[in-house]
Structure 1
Amino acid sequence: DPRLPSCDCDGVLHMILDAYGQPIRQAELKEPQTARIARHARPWIDPALVKLTPREVAQRLAAADDGDLSAQHRLFADMEDRDATIAAAMQQRALAVARLPWHIEPPPGADAKEKKAAEAAEELIRAGIDALEDVLVDLMAAVGHGFAAVEIAWQRQGDAWLPDLYPRPHEWFGVSDDRRSLALLDDSGRGQGLRPFGWVLYQPRRPKAGYVARGGLYRALVWPFVYKAYAVGDFAEFLETYGLPFVVGKYGREATEEDKTRLLSAVASLAHDARAIMPLEMQLEIHKIAGSGDGAPHLKMIAWADEAIARCVLGQTLSSEAKSTGLGSGVADLHAQVRQDIRDADARQLAATLTRDLIWPVVALNFGLADPRRGPRLVFDTSEPEDVSTWAEALPKLVSIGLPVPARWAAEKLGIPAPEGDEPVLGAAAASAQTAQTAQTAALAAGDDAQRVTQNASTPPQPDALDALVEEALADWQPLVEPIAERMQAIVDEAVRDGATAAELIERLTRALPELPAERLAGQLARAQFVARVAGVEGRDG
């Protein structure tokens, strides 16, 4: 490929470096790093944990702090499989980012080559990676585990290098000797450093206290999960036995072990089958259960664990509050969203990772860019478009009183993109043309002359004597309006800086109306109205 740099004798691609300055070898691009590691060819899937005790949990966490991550991440995977609250909260947080619109933009002050590379990279990513949203969800697993690794397998299609993305299990990775970075476990047990341009490695949080193992939220969710598991088990056992009477068998002092065994068998048979046989001299007593059967202590423990999980992952617990307080759908609708600051932080960190580990390799290999600092970057659109109906009502009122509203600012507020080239747009002109055409069609249907209708529609009305009088009365209106417009423009600018909504802007303008210098303008308008009315009366009398 003439666009790609040449290779030296070691297969190093000249001028192509990763985001950390490491050179790229062409041979390493042709084969994924895990392809020749036997232990990953047929990965062993551990069964779900049958019985999890606090002692075993503590041992797994301690082993992770010592560098062995496998047991900890198997525990984390089991938590996702066994706890519906954890699975739902994590999926909700992942989808909040994955469904955001995204684009690739050039660096600030980009030249023509950098702009072209950004446009081509976005086109290539959108066309070449069909399941990018699924990959984003896989990468968001790093929120719980502390990291997520997606391997890149490069394929040549024509003149282009295209990435195929494969999520890899967390158990495939260990920590380096300094415990500050990840290594791919191999057959030797020592681990390998991750190849440049070979991985998308997402680590949303800095390793706590220098330990990679402590970076995920699952470290905080382990104990609520364990306590909830015990509470659920105890509650299930309680439901199994609640309502059944206690059956007590009595035997005499002379009873042998065989007699005791027969009596115990009779008690068990009576409890389950309501049938039993026993010697005549033995006795059975049946005691009826008295007391509440709501299982409140167990359910309180389960509710506490669910609230702790929701608070840790989503930042709030409004689902339980809406259920217990009977609040309306507004609370439930709010709970349906991840807290905006958490979502925006996830989007910002994930975009930085994708820019470093995916976008830069694509543009470096395909477009010959050499400086990672001047490469394009992926950006998620986290802005919330304003209520169009509110602005549609507010903007005409603001413009009608002389407020100079920039069209660009209004388009940004409403999330409306600027038209490109000669792209057709909706506007007042089109609406006016359609209205004129409708009027012309109606006139023709009524038998009017089409030529006269067209001429009347195209000829602007001529000013009469009344218009001249009003114009003369308002000859100096502009100096009167300027201080009012300047004051209102200052209010709008302040609202834009504060990020105020349309309703808040209207409220600010309403509060400022008594302070506006409108006395002279009102007097001038009154005189103009008086002149117009007098002229109208004289016209009728004449």
Structure 2
Amino acid sequence: MADKPGLVDWTGVPIRSRRELEREEAVPSVTGIQHRFDETVASGLTPARLASSLRDAAAGDMYDFLTLAEEMEERELHYRYVLETRKNGVTSLNVQVDPASENARDVEIADFLRNELVETPAFQQLPDMLVDGLAKGYSVVEMVWRTGNRWVPERFIWRDPRLFHFDRETRRAFRLRIQAEPDGRPLTPLKYLTHVPLLKMGLPARNGLARIAAWAFMFKSFSMRDWAQFLEVYGMPLRLGKYGPGSSKEDRAVLLAAVRRLGRDAAAIVPEGMNIEFVEPKGFSDRPFEGHARFIDEQMSKLIIGKPGDGTASSRAGEETLDKVRIDIKRSDTRDLQLTLMQQLIIPVVQLNFGPQVAYPKVHFPIPERKDLQVWSNAVTSLVDRGLEVEQSQVYDVLGLKEPAKGAKLLTAGQARAAPQVPVEKASAIGRAGARPSVDGDAPPGRGAMPSRYRLDPRVCPACGPARLQADGGEDQDEIDALVAAELDGWRPVMDPILQAVRAAAEDARDYDEFLASLDRLDGQLPVDGLARRIAVLNMIGRGRGDAGEE
């Protein structure tokens, strides 16, 4: 297929040749730079050297800073952990492709992106490559395209950020570092994805999290080194050698060597007249080192994940794994990643294969919202009862359920409420309130399954008790059954005033919290006298029959 004339990248630069898109570019044969980055900055890092590296980075020479940023992830455990937590907060989300509209053409374009790009193995690690820019300030990924009937990237290659630098004039445009070319070479159009997270306003070179964390990294490394030296001798008695006033220089050297040897092999000899004392340390503690290290870790956590500690704390029980990164930070990182993909990848791919469009599909990483389903369902039920129209698909989405397919076997309300049909003894624990149930064996039943002779009668319920008792036949009903049936028949007159008061409080409340407050105000004012009287009478009758030994 011939080159497509008139095509430009997302910045408006024209594409010169498809051959440039089909081959790798950031390789030693092109740049003249060998990909061996074994230099180190972290070893022997001092405040003066760190300040110099940061000044050079701000001026456009980011080589030393990027080397240090790489080493920080390799050397500092807590920094690596919270940084990976920040990245995983985005990369662990599922990518979603939404068509621009329900139009058949827009749906076709969305299906093409989903099948040819988003769901391919090559795309799966692309978000991980791009969010590397959170620490270093930017990330560059080279694309190797497949051209022909369809133009799509078939490979994404993460490139070391030290292969690139910013132009000298604006310090914003990326340049490929080329041997013997001080200002490098402009990037080939549609060849690279350049992700610059918007962590702060200003030059991209001053943007990365590693720039701020570098000072904490250096101070903590000082503290850890001193701590290690302290722990090497902590708790060991001080070996104090004493020599007489007439001791020669050679004798003192022998004594010093003996004192030092005691720390390694616990054996030494000294001249006669000299002695060695062991002084036990008192009042020493390593807490200042630990406190300093913990303080730096907390500040680093605040910087990277927006909260102190290791990110496992949560404001809600059971949400630790979902709440490690502050939600506003996660939304911001997701927005930046979506913007990069849409501008530099999705829109160009659509234009190359379908031409310019009025609207383009949306490729995004939706963040699942956590809801208290009990509170949410109660609120929705109350609003629907008041006439609010709610689309069923939205309810399915919140509950995480799929809409039922045609012909599928469905659960119904009757099935959900149906009680298991199990055999029960004639006597009921509720119906015989005062009677002592007989239990097989001498030991009382535990909190697990009840013995067969100590079960609640499923016939006794406010909604279906009387009908069930009548259906069972009158010959099986004794006086206790008749008493329960009579009371269940008359429960509504005493319960209606209570239910009306609660229902009125629910209808007047604007939200769930206001409803709870209304219930608190009703405490002590509900018309429960009639209900309490009937319960007391029934309990007294049942207790009397039980004490009389009636079965």
2:351 maps to which of 342, 349, 364: 364
Q: How far did residue 214 of structure 1 move?
A: 0.7
Candidates 159, 168, 173, aligned match of 1:177: 168
Instruction: After TM superposition, give the deviation of residue 423 of structure 1 in Å.
Output: 5.0
Residue 59 of structure 1, CA deviation: 1.8
Give 2:56's aligned amino acid.
A
Amino acid at match of 1:68: D
The CA deviation string for residues 31-80 of structure 1, in whole angstroms up to 9 with x for no partner, is 12214335455433335733222222112112212221111011111111
- Amino acid of the residue matched to residue 26 of structure 2? T
Alignment partner of 1:260 is 2:252:
yes
Summarize the Cα distance change of 1:160–1:274 in structure 2 as closer, same or farther, 3 Å threshold: same
Over residues 126-183 of structure 1, what are the superposed CA-to-partner deviations in whole Å (9 max), with x where a residue is unaligned? Answer: 343x153432122112111111111111134874533311111122121211222322
Matched with 1:15 is 6
Residue number in structure 1 paired with 2:132? 141
**CA gap 1:216/1:268 in 2 versus in 1, 3 angstroms:** same
Instruction: Report Cα offsets for 1:401-455 as digits up to 9, x if no partner.
Output: 45343225743762668859x7556757x7789999xxxxxxxxxxxxxxxxxxx
Partner of 2:38: 45
> What code does the residue aligned with 1:162 have?
P
Give, as a single letter, the amino acid of the residue that structure 2 aligns with 1:181.
A
Cα separation, 1, equivalents of 2:380 and 2:124:
37
Q: What residue in structure 2 maps to residue 381 of structure 1?
A: 366
Helix, strand or coil for the counterpart of 1:16? coil
* Ranges in structure 2 where 5+ consecutive residues have no aligned partner: 419-502, 523-551
What code does the residue aligned with 1:360 have? I
Match of 2:341 in 1: 354
1:132 correspondence with 2:123: yes
Question: Matches of 1:282 and 1:433 in 2, distance apart?
Answer: 95
Tell whether the 8 Å contact from 2:396 to 2:402 is kept in structure 1 after alignment.
Answer: no
Question: Within 2, Cα distance between the matches of 1:334 and 1:296?
Answer: 31
Match of 1:76 among 66, 69, 73: 69
For the residues of structure 2 that align with 1:410 and 1:343, how far apart are their CA atoms? 24
Q: 2:424 corresponds to which residue?
A: none
Shift of 1:121: 0.9
Aligned CA distance change for structure 1 residues 377 and 48 (closer, same or farther; 3 Å): same
Given that 1:145 and 1:216 are in contact with CA atoms closer than 8 Å, whether structure 2 keeps it comes out as yes
1:204 partner SS: coil
Gapped runs of 5+ residues in structure 1? 8-12, 437-483, 496-502, 514-542
In structure 1, what is the equivalent of residue 178 of structure 2?
A: 186
Q: 1:221 maps to what in 2? A: 213
Q: Distance in 1 between matches of 2:282 and 2:334?
A: 55
Contact kept in structure 2, 1:251 and 1:282, CA below 8 Å? yes
Q: What is the one-letter code of the residue matched to 2:77? A: A
Q: How does 1:232-251 map to 2 (within 5 A)?
A: 232-251=224-243
Per-residue deviation, residues 322-358 of structure 1 (Å, max 9, x unmatched) = 6xxxx99839827852111110111111000011122
Counterpart of 1:406?
A: 390
For residue 291 of structure 1, give the secondary structure of its aligned residue in structure 2: coil
1:152 matched residue in structure 2: 143
Whether the 8 Å CA contact 2:126–2:156 is kept in 1: the answer is: yes
CA shift in 2, pair 1:434/1:62, >3 Å: closer
Cα contact 1:369–1:375 (8 A) shared by 2: no
SS in 2 for 1:185: strand
Look up the match of 1:345: 332
For 1:103 and 1:84, locate their aligned partners in 2 and report how far apart those are by CA, in whole Å: 33
How many Å separate the matches in 2 of 1:15 and 1:408?
47
Matches within 5 A, 1:271-282: 271-282=263-274
**CA offset at residue 18 of structure 1?**
1.4
> Residue 267 of structure 1 contacts residue 276 of structure 1 at CA under 8 Å; is this kept in 2?
yes
From 155, 162, 169, the equivalent of 1:164 is 155
User: Residue 443 of structure 2 corresponds to which residue in structure 1?
Assistant: none
Match of 2:95 in 1: 102
Please identify, of 384-393 and 212-221, the stretch whose mean Cα deviation from structure 2 is larger. 384-393
Distance 1:396-1:121 versus aligned 2 partners, 3 A rule: same
Question: Which amino acid in 1 is paired with 2:23?
Answer: E
1:254 positional shift = 5.0
8 Å CA contact 2:143–2:153 kept in 1: the answer is no
How many Å separate the matches in 1 of 2:269 and 2:98? 84
Q: Distance in 1 between matches of 2:77 and 2:334?
A: 24
Task: Find the residue that maps to 1:72 and give its secondary structure.
Answer: helix
Hey, what's the Cα distance between the residues in 2 that align with 1:124 and 1:321? 38
Separation of aligned partners in 1, 2:319 and 2:375: 24
CA contact (8 A) 1:150 1:168 kept: yes
- Structure with the higher fraction of residues in helix conformation: 1
Match of 2:440 in 1: none
| Residue in structure 2 matched with residue 453 of structure 1 by the alignment | none
- Shift of the alpha carbon at 1:253? 5.2
The residue matched to 1:353 in structure 2 has which SS? helix
Q: Distance in 2 between matches of 1:228 and 1:106?
A: 49
Distance 2:509 2:193 in 1: 47
Q: Confirm or deny: 8 A CA contact 1:96 1:338 kept in the other structure.
A: yes
Computed over aligned residues only, the root mean square deviation of the Cα atoms, in angstroms, reads 3.9
Matched ranges for 1:23-34 at <5 A: 23-25=14-16, 26-34=18-26
For residues 193 and 315 of structure 1, the distance between their equivalents in structure 2, rounded to whole angstroms, comes to 36
* SS in structure 2 of the partner of residue 153 of structure 1: strand
Q: For residues 72 and 423 of structure 1, do their structure 2 counterparts lie closer, same or farther at Cα, with a shift above 3 Å needed?
A: farther
CA distance in 2 between partners of 1:427 and 1:320 (Å): 41
Q: 2:296 aligns with which of 279, 295, 305?
A: 305
Given that residues 147 and 204 in structure 1 are in contact (C-alpha distance below 8 angstroms), is that contact kept between their aligned partners in structure 2?
yes
Select which of 185, 189, 201 maps to 2:194: 201
CA spacing shift, 1:376–1:22, aligned 2, 3 Å: farther
2:190·2:344 contact (CA, 8 Å) conserved in 1?
A: yes
Q: Is the 8 A contact 1:181 1:212 kept in 2?
A: no
Amino acid at match of 2:75: R
Question: Which whole-Å CA distance do the structure 2 matches of 1:364 and 1:20 have between them?
Answer: 14
Contact 2:26 2:159 in 1 (8 A): no
CA distance, structure 2, for counterparts of residue 124 and residue 222 of structure 1? 41
The Cα shift of 1:398 comes to 5.5
Letter in 2 for 1:351: Q
Find the counterpart in structure 2 of residue 57 from structure 1: 50
Residues 415 and 352 of structure 1: is their aligned pair in 2 closer, same or farther, counting only changes over 3 Å? farther
Q: How does 1:459-478 map to 2 (within 5 A)?
A: none
CA distance in 2, matches of 1:125, 1:176: 32
